[in-house]
Amino acid sequence: MPLDQGTITVIVGAQWGDEGKGKITDFFSGDSDYVVRYHGGNNAGHTVIVNGDTYKLHLIPSGVLYPTPISIIGNGVVIDPKALLDEVSYLKTKGVTPNLLISDRAHIIMPYHKMLDLALTNHQQNLAAGSTKRGIAPVYGDKMFRNGIRMVDLLEPNIFHEKLNKSFIFATNLLSAISSSDFDLDFDSVYNDYLKMGKLLSPYISDISLELYNAYNNNKTILFEGAQGISLDVDHGVYPYTTSSNTIAGSISTGTGVSYRDIHRIIGVTKAYLSRVGEGPLPSEVHGEEAIQLREKGGEYGTTTGRPRRVGWLDLVQVRQAVRVNGLTEIALTKLDILSNTKELSVCTEYDINGVKESEIPASLHKFRSAKPIYKQLPGWGDITSSMLKDGYDSLPNELKSYVQFIENQVNCKVSIISVGPERHQTIIR
């Protein structure tokens, strides 16, 4: 099912991130005029494999691998200019020249944000979310304190100097209050380095809200690529074990200026099992040899950090929330091939919380820590062959189709996309 001309489609994570959003975005990007990131920063990591070549992206949307779409980084994204320049250079070495635009209103990660990130993680102790130490939370904090620096400021040296001076004083005082670390940054060096990076990035900096408004009115096809997943959303996720941005579909409005009412399709990407990077409760997590086998078979290591991911059985309580909060029109179910040749599959349908069955994720951290998975056992399937890919969904093993049907019935949302491998062509549309 290709994207219709002149429509807006959003791809979001329905779990803890790492669901395969990069692959699904890449799959649809060839039908798009624009591919847009709208939140998060280089704490996100998307891996796309095309013709055996692997691309690891952190800030630039996955659609960059096509020659036609314009890749957009919206104002809701926080940007490390050096990381972005490094990513542009990385793509050029692989023969890809990004067709890129960056919002002039996007906030910038500064060196002191990374220092504060480490200090805050140590301060939070057992309530720490498992930060990537890339300065994401502190820069979002500065944004809300109205203490931030935006991309447009790098193009105005006097304004940048004024804002940086204020931010330096604030960061110094904050760091001294929560950490014994020295604030050893040199103001002039930071100022000059960022002005240089701003000059290099200046051809890309633009009013993204206006660009997308005009594009939609001119019947252009727009694809939004979310980062992380529903359970990491700072409002709707398992707080405080979350990221620092809103990961849900509704945040495209604040993250780009595009109206939510103009969205036509919202695709929630769900891995056929579960994985996450970071701390916090994970009711359907598996351990020991079972976890090792699943992790190795699925290649479950963080794109951004390289950390081994925690793994477990599919949690439909989580997916149920993703359907409801995002307003999902459909689900893309990925990595079904990893479960091939598994004799029996467990699927979490509810939680047992202190003897009470719950079908929704509680806000209470105490309750969520106490949650025990209630499993439904389903039969596994054998190999998924190349001929099945050619012949389509009806040719897949009956046990796999029953697995898909069970998910649909439990969460009340159609599974329209089946992914059975990392390559672009290993995708089946129902």
Tokens 């467990």 sit at which residue?
Answer: 346
Contact 181, 174 (CB under 8 A): no
The Cβ of residue 162 has, within 10 Å, a number of other Cβ atoms equal to 12
H helices of 283-352, in order, are 288-298, 316-326
| 427: phi then psi, degrees, rounded to nearest 5 | -135, 135
Tokens 């931010």 sit at which residue?
Answer: 167
- Rg (C-alpha) for the chain, rounded Å, is 22
Beta bridge partners of 47: 56
Rounded to the nearest 5 degrees, what angle is found at the Cα of 349, between the Cα atoms of 343 and 352?
Answer: 115
Structure tokens at 415: 């599974």
User: Hey, which residues are catalytic here?
Assistant: 18, 46
Distance CA 33, CA 70 (A): 6
Tokens 């660009």 sit at which residue?
Answer: 211
The Cβ of residue 161 has, within 10 Å, a number of other Cβ atoms equal to 14
Distance CA 148, CA 14 (A): 30
